[in-house]
Structure 1
Amino acid sequence: MWKAVASNALTFFIVFLVIASGLLAWGRKEYSGPGPLADAMCFRVERGATLSSVSRMLESSGVISDARIFRIGADYSGQGSGLKFGSYLLPAQTSMVGVLDIITAGGQSTCGSEVNFRIGIASSDVILRELDAATNRYVEVASFDPAVDALPQPYLDAVEDLDLRYRVTLAEGVTSWQVVEMLRRAEFMEGTVDEVPAEGSLAPDSYDVTRGGDRAALLAVMQERQAKTLAALWADRAPDLPYASPEEALVMASIVEKETGIAEERRQVASVFVNRLRKGMKLQTDPTVIYGVTNGEGILGRGLRQSELRRETPYNTYVIAGLPPGPIANPGRLSIEAALNPDDTPFIFFVADGTGGHAFAVTLEEHNANVAAWRKIEAQRGQEGTTGVQGN
């Protein structure tokens, strides 16, 4: 009898082990294998949410197959108490372990909406975008000019979301005055700016900010980034450049930045000015003259007058020799690279060619022909003014 009891007990124990092993294997497969989510989605973890409530939401949303397995796996891995508030992009068929990694990783949210405050040369705007989880691309919801437009309702609704992300983006070639003036219109930032940073000292780039962030602190970050960029590129500069200091290279970079918006041309444009400096020729470039007229406070909005081209100012490179006393804008990294590593060319002239680029020349005769071609294009377009480097 006892043998039968022992045999039955052993049988039950073996069956139990088999069932337990099967359940464990099934649980591991459910936890580590592809999830049931058919399409990518944005999932929000509320502030103060518990693992239990989040697991139930994930199950009801079709992200995971079993909330209990998710909780057991989270507790076993030690991530159960590491939930991070925010909105997260969950790709289709993400496993439970993948979901857990995403919502406990911390850092910026990977889904939801963002505000991009874009500071441009001619105008600025605020873009409200929302991530389309299906395509993993942002879709514009609203846009407005903070200088002239009232805040649109979609924007007012969006700023109620504490998880809304903010970004400030500087275009290459903006002046420091323009940056400060527009930051003062950024309603989501705080703090005063007592002085306009030195021209050229701000790095055109995109900056993540928080609502209520300090304007002066952001400007300091921009200055630090530009200083690091200039120092690194100065250390890797070409030999025998006609600059006495990194600051002079920054002046040249700002001129290159304002002369061409075509990345492939920057080193050629820089070569023209470097060749002129080496030959003792005046730079004769319109953007410096314009800066002497506007002081960087907005755009001129018209062609230069002959009286302005003849007037002696520290920035009139038709009159003064060498570089102007300071930068005329905030140049981007590519223009600084061009100024410090220009192409090796014989060019000493260039003028617009009507395509957005420039025609380069070695001799005054070649240049005059290029200028004549440009004047015909100007006449056809009804434009006036000069551009590029003129002949002596």
Structure 2
Amino acid sequence: MALTRKQKWITGIVGLFLSLALVVVLWFGSQAYRWKAPGPSTRDTVVLVEEGSSLTRAAQSLEKAGVVADAHAFLKMARWFGSDQPIKAGEYAMPAGVSPSQVLRLLQEGAVLLRRITVVEGMSAIQIYERLMGEEMLTGPVAVPEEGSVLPETYSFVRGETRQSVLDRMQASMRQTLDELWAARDPDLPLKTPQEAVILASIVEKETSLKREMPEVAGVYINRLKIGMKLQADPTVIYPITQGKPLGRRIRLSDLRAENAYNTYVIEGLPAGPIANPSRAALKAVLKPAKTKNLYFVADGTGGHRFAATHAEHLRNVAHWRQFRVQNGI
């Protein structure tokens, strides 16, 4: 049966609407695909979202950095497919090919790029201060920390964080570590307080860079403290001269004779304070030292030391060291 003119008109309108609906569905589907498809960036890119930035401003930065193809399109897709959770300021490491949906998720979760700053074992307070002040990604002033108050390790921070907040974490890490190790210390140590442990550990740290040697070096100093023998540690001679920086020359006889609160060739017992920031290994070494009868040690020419229980044996080790120096032109 032939359709009437009205029926033809209705059929045409319905067909048109169905065609338009299909176009809309297909177009919307293409946008949904673009939302989760890899973006245009071909390499990892760092993008800074400044404090107070809106999503619009962030999108402009993302387009400029080549992370999204079009800021306007990104904003439309974010409205259609994303959540309305606010974004967070910070520095973001956007991986190569990151999709628009991943970009928004990173911004909303605040998955900011973590920078790192390392305090090397045995660094002095002034060296840590200089390292903090030299880190351009940090902000604000900071005072020279108390010697021995920082635990050497690598710390994470975000761009724009204050130097003081990073230092606070460094010092909190030292307090936590010291509390833990002090509680588990050997019972017969000649160390009255955790601070005395830090002082001795700082000497051990400066005497050897070999972690396997630290308990033995600590054992020598513990033995000396127990019998009232002077520590005679060269690093304590250097510290008042350089405040923990390299001396740049050999120790002179006048240095060994200098009267101050640190020179353990002159004073008895521990120096007035730490001479560096000791590592966890050095702290553990002085709180659980090797059980040894040794009272002396001298360099062996290979980065380690020769240990001795008697002065006569020590003199033989010293002669060996001097011979090594001559043979190697040191």
TM-superposition CA deviations, 1:252-284 (whole Å, max 9, x none)? 111111112234433332233234434554433
Q: 1:222 to 1:58 in 2, by over 3 A?
A: closer
Amino acid of the residue matched to residue 252 of structure 1? Answer: L
Could you tell me which of 162, 170, 190 is aligned with 1:242? 190
Query: What is aligned with 1:389?
Result: none
Q: Distance in 1 between matches of 2:154 and 2:178?
A: 17
Q: 1:328 to 1:6 in 2, by over 3 A?
A: same
Q: 1:56 to 1:296 in 2, by over 3 A?
A: closer
**SS at 1:92 equivalent:** coil
TM-superposition CA deviations, 1:38-72 (whole Å, max 9, x none)? 22234455677664565466457653355454212
1:82 paired with 2:30, answer no
Q: How big is the shift at 1:95? A: 0.8
1:72 paired with 2:19, answer no
Matches within 5 A, 1:70-219: 70-76=74-80, 77-79=82-84, 82=87, 84=89, 88-106=92-110, 170-176=119-125, 198-204=146-152
Number of residue pairs aligned between Structure 1 and Structure 2 = 323
TM-superposition CA deviations, 1:301-358 (whole Å, max 9, x none)? 4333446546665444345543334322232333223322334555443221222222
Amino acid of the residue matched to residue 76 of structure 2? Answer: I
Could you tell me which of 209, 215, 232 is aligned with 2:180? 232
Could you tell me which of 24, 35, 38 is aligned with 1:31? 35
Contact 1:267 1:341 in 2 (8 A): yes
Q: How big is the shift at 1:285? A: 1.9
Q: 1:278 to 1:11 in 2, by over 3 A?
A: farther
Query: What is aligned with 1:153?
Result: none
Q: How big is the shift at 1:28? A: 2.0
Amino acid of the residue matched to residue 64 of structure 1? Answer: V
Contact 1:31 1:69 in 2 (8 A): no
Q: Distance in 1 between matches of 2:66 and 2:163?
A: 41
Amino acid of the residue matched to residue 273 of structure 2? Answer: G
Contact 2:63 2:70 in 1 (8 A): yes
Query: What is aligned with 1:355?
Result: 302
Query: What is aligned with 1:369?
Result: 316
Q: 1:259 to 1:56 in 2, by over 3 A?
A: closer
Unaligned runs of 5+ in 1: 111-164, 384-392
* TM-score scaled by length of structure 1: 0.63
CA RMSD of aligned residues (A): 4.4
Q: Distance in 1 between matches of 2:42 and 2:133?
A: 45
Q: How big is the shift at 1:248? A: 1.1
RCO higher in 1 or 2 (8 Å CA, sep ≥ 6)? 2
Q: How big is the shift at 1:374? A: 1.1
**SS at 2:297 equivalent:** strand
Q: How big is the shift at 1:35? A: 2.1
Query: What is aligned with 2:326?
Result: 379
Q: Distance in 1 between matches of 2:39 and 2:132?
A: 45
TM-superposition CA deviations, 1:212-266 (whole Å, max 9, x none)? 9687x87666555533432233234344433211011111111111112234433
Contact 1:51 1:83 in 2 (8 A): no
**Of the two, which has the highest radius of gyration?**
2
Higher strand share: 1
Higher helix share: 2
Amino acid of the residue matched to residue 194 of structure 2? Answer: P
Q: Percent sequence identity over matched residues?
A: 41
Q: Distance in 1 between matches of 2:57 and 2:168?
A: 42
